[in-house]
């Protein structure tokens, strides 16, 4: 080999060695930086992340799988009921006392009172119309306002119907 070939190999080896040191240094730096990232602070964000990465379904096979599937369905139904407003209750009085009484006892927003003249007059439009207005919201021609689901989006349609039925019974 010639002298200038040896000189090239020496310098090329030094460049490769330097690049290797830089690579190892970057890898070590990345390792320490990844440890410096704080864990998620917000429990809401953590729950949302868990919900996004949760499995979509499950596989159930055989008789034990059928039992597990039934148990999973029951647990899901119980969890959904517990997440509903007011514990998922269908007691119209309970929902009225906790949500509706603020407007329907004072007439705020021109809300009808629980009297034959107040709510009873609205019954002439039909129960389906009352249910629809209570669920979707309504602004009357007189300026009266009914927010959707009484202002609580956590209420189910069944809870709204039960509360409207209870209110109609009380207005008689």
Query: Per-residue pLDDT for the chain (172 aa), expressed as one digit of tens each?
Result: 678 888 999 999 999 999 999 999 999 999 988 888 777 678 888 888 888 898 887 776 777 777 888 888 888 777 666 666 777 788 888 888 888 888 888 888 888 888 888 776 777 888 888 899 889 988 888 888 889 988 888 888 888 999 989 888 887 7
CATH number of domain containing 164: 1.10.760.10
- Whether residues 94 and 156 fall in one domain: yes
Q: Is residue 137 part of a domain?
A: yes
Dump the DSSP string for the chain.
--HHHHHHHHHHHHHHHHHHHHHHHHHHHHHHHHHHSPPP--HHHHHHHHHHHS-S-----HHHHHHHHHHHHHHHHHHHHHHSGGGG---HHHHIIIIIHHHHTTTGGGPPPSSTTTHHHHGGG-HHHHHHHHHH-EE-TTS-EE-GGGG-TT--HHHHHHHHHHHHHHT-
Within a domain: 71: no
Residue range of the domain that includes 12: 1-36
């Amino acid at each position: 080999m010639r002298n200038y070939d040896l000189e090239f190999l020496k310098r090329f080896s030094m460049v490769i060695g330097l690049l290797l040191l830089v690579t190892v240094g970057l890898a070590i730096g990345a390792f320490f930086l990844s440890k410096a990232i704080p864990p998620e602070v917000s429990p809401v964000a953590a729950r949302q992340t868990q919900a996004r990465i949760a499995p979509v379904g499950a596989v159930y096979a055989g008789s034990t799988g059928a039992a597990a599937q039934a148990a999973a369905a029951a647990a899901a139904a119980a969890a959904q009921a517990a997440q509903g407003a007011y514990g998922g209750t269908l007691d119209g009085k309970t929902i009225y006392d906790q949500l509706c009484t603020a407007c329907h006892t004072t007439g705020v927003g021109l809300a009808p009172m629980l009297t034959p003249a107040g709510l009873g007059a609205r019954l002439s439009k039909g129960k389906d119309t009352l249910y629809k207005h209570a669920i979707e919201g309504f602004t009357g021609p007189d300026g009266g306002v009914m927010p959707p689901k009484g202002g609580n989006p956590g209420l189910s349609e069944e809870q709204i119907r039960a509360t409207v039925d209870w209110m109609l019974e009380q207005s008689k």
